[in-house]
Amino acid sequence: MRIAAFAFCLLASSPALAELLRVGPGQTYTRIADAAAAARDGDTVEILSGEYRGDVAIWPQKRLTIVGSGEERPVLIADGRSADDKAIWVIRNGDFHISNIEFRGARVADGNGAGIRLEGGRLQVVNAAFIDNQNGILTGNREDIELVVRDSLFAQ
């Protein structure tokens, strides 16, 4: 009996294993917004090559990796939509690593639409492209925000 109770306590206190959530045609998630709603802290969201039109998302997690995969990086095209009237993606407050994604055409009424809006936390962006947005990445003026951008393109 003690062994069973001890084993239960170990399992109950262990963090859940991180999952891989795939987004793309024929995958569990066909929309990025659905994967953003389902992802849990520590997960990896893999977005397959292709165009994702008007598929905006809010990411409330505390720790997440989001990576584009395939022969060409996935392209997120705002198509007149924005998450929370701010950006294609809004990151609330976590530790995020984003790589190999392209953000295009972010526009909002107040003129500061962004590919990514970082509201708090840490964000590392690698090998990404921000094209024809009002702002590529927009952050708040807060001391607790850390932004690292490497090998990325900001154009038009």
Q: What is the pLDDT along the chain (156 residues), one digit of tens a residue?
A: 444 444 444 444 445 689 999 999 999 999 999 999 999 999 999 999 999 999 999 999 999 999 999 999 999 999 999 999 999 999 999 999 999 999 999 999 999 999 999 999 999 999 999 999 999 999 988 888 999 999 999 999
How many angstroms separate the CA atoms of 47 and 134, rounded? 24
Give the model's pLDDT for residue 78.
98
Task: Classify residue 48 as exposed, middle or buried by CB count within 10 Å of its CB (0-12, 13-18, 19+).
Answer: middle
Give the model's pLDDT for residue 101.
98
Quickly count: other Cβ atoms within 10 Å of residue 141's Cβ: 5
Give the model's pLDDT for residue 86.
98
Give the model's pLDDT for residue 121.
95
SS3 12: helix
Give the model's pLDDT for residue 140.
85
Residue 30, CA distances (Å) to 8, 68, 94 in order: 36, 14, 24
To which H or E segment does residue 118 belong?
A: strand 114-118
pLDDT in tens, 5-15: 444 444 444 45
Give the model's pLDDT for residue 142.
87
Q: CB neighbours of 146 closer than 8 A, spacing ≥ 6?
A: 121, 122, 123
Give the model's pLDDT for residue 151.
98
